[in-house]
């Protein structure tokens, strides 16, 4: 059996492609065996002394596939991070992402308390972008480190990994102390309150922080302020966070259970509230007692305003502290014993 000039050229090109894809010490040996197989196949399909043309060869090569495919069958399957390292990689990734997000949030709360930002929405968007960049950079670095470990330890037995595979009874996760029972009524009430909150803050935004004062149904109604202009600046963010809380409650109602997504969503909202409280703390005074002055005719309004804002500062401080504890507790719980 003999190939004509065109078929010979095609076969040589195909084999060159295969060799280039193969690499390694056995490259020529493997390529020779593949070529021998092609000749055997041609011989069986076209017996006799007839010269084999390009078309006959092309049919066989098409059945075999590209040089990359043929050569690929001789290479071991490779992973960026293989199944051996992946559980450890995933654990480290979650811990680092949570630590980075927590550290950045805390630093922003402290910075905004010391030096209140001029443009709240811009600062908040920048904060979200910083968190995203921080987590992405950390994840990329961890991925590169694990990919290097994967290559460097390919085929080797890693004692640390083997240890992780052993059962240690003490390290089994504790059963969740407070596995949140799903309460349809509770979530529905939370969702309804969220909608009312949205309506209230939208109304307050429209009235410039004032509420109607109705002392006597026969007299004309007038408006009196409860919130200062500083507070009004925060309302878009408050509306955003409340909207997200309502959306979370609706998601809970649809899926009828707490899941990993809704739990992390809750953590993000609590972290967002903490940042907001930090900004608000740096932007006092936020409330005015004009409304109560209209109703109760209080004397020495300035002193009462100062007292109310001091009380609000204490509440915001406690809220930051409470949210911080809650965020850390929930992150730890979600990492140690994640919902599914």
Partner 1 sequence: MLLTILCFIQYNAVMMNIKQNDEFEKLKLEMRRGAIVLAVMSQLREEQYGYSLINNLNERGFEIGQDTLYPMLRRLEQQGLLESQWRVEDPRPRRYYRLNDAGREVLALLTAEWRQQEEVLRRLINETE
Contacting residues toward partner 1, per CB under 8 A: 1, 26, 30, 32-34, 36-37, 39-41, 44, 64-65, 69-70, 73-74
Tokens describing residue 185: 């009524």
Residue 69 or 336 having the CB closest to partner 1: 69
Return d(Cα 95, Cα 231) in angstroms, integer: 36
Nearer to partner 1, 33 or 126 (CB): 33
DSSP 93: H
Q: Rounded to the nearest whole angstrom, what is the least distance from the CB of residue 66 to partner 1 in the complex?
A: 12
Residue 122 makes CB contacts below 8 A (sequence gap 6+) with none
Q: Closest approach of Cβ 327 to partner 1, in Å?
A: 43
Q: Which is nearer to partner 1, 37 or 132 (CB)?
A: 37
| Beta strand segments in 62-122, E | none
Contact predicate 42/56, CB 8 Å: yes
C-beta closer to partner 1: residue 36 or 59: 36
Give the Cα separation of 273 and 323 in Å (integer): 8
Q: Give the integer Cα–Cα distance in Å for 276 and 109.
A: 8
User: End-to-end CA distance of the chain, in Å?
Assistant: 64
User: Rounded CA gap, 187 and 8, in Å?
Assistant: 74
Question: How many residues in total does the chain contain?
Answer: 340
- When the beta carbons of 47 and 173 are compared against partner 1, the nearer one is 47
């Amino acid at each position: 059996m003999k190939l004509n000039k065109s078929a010979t050229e095609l076969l040589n090109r195909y084999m060159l492609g295969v060799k280039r894809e193969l690499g390694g010490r056995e490259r020529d040996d493997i390529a020779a065996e593949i070529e021998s197989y092609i000749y055997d196949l041609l011989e069986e399909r076209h017996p006799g002394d007839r010269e084999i043309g390009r078309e006959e060869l092309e049919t066989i090569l098409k059945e075999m596939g590209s040089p990359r495919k043929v050569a690929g069958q001789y290479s071991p399957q490779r992973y960026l991070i293989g199944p051996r390292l992946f559980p450890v990689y995933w654990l480290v990734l979650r811990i680092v992402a949570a630590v980075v997000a927590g550290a950045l949030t805390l630093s922003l709360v402290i910075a905004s308390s010391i030096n209140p930002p001029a443009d709240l929405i811009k600062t908040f968007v920048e904060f979200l972008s910083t968190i995203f960049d921080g987590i992405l950079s950390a994840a990329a670095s961890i991925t590169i480190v694990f990919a290097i470990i994967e290559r460097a330890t390919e085929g080797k037995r890693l004692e640390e990994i083997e240890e992780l595979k052993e059962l240690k009874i003490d390290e089994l996760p504790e059963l969740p102390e407070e596995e949140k029972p799903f309460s349809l009524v509770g979530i529905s009430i939370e969702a309804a309150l969220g909608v009312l909150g949205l309506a209230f803050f939208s109304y307050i935004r429209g009235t410039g922080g004032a509420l109607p004062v109705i002392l006597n149904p026969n007299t004309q109604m007038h408006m009196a302020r409860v919130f200062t202009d500083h507070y009004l600046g925060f309302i878009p963010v408050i509306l955003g966070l409340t909207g997200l809380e309502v959306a979370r409650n609706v998601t809970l109602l649809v899926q009828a259970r707490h899941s990993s997504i809704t739990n992390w969503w809750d953590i993000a909202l609590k972290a967002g509230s903490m940042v907001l409280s930090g900004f608000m703390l740096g932007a006092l005074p936020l409330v005015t007692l004009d409304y109560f002055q209209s109703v109760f005719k209080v004397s020495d309004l300035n002193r009462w305003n100062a007292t109310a804002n001091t009380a609000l500062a204490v509440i915001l401080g406690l809220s930051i502290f409470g949210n911080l504890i809650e965020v850390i507790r929930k992150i730890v719980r979600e990492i140690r014993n994640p919902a599914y």
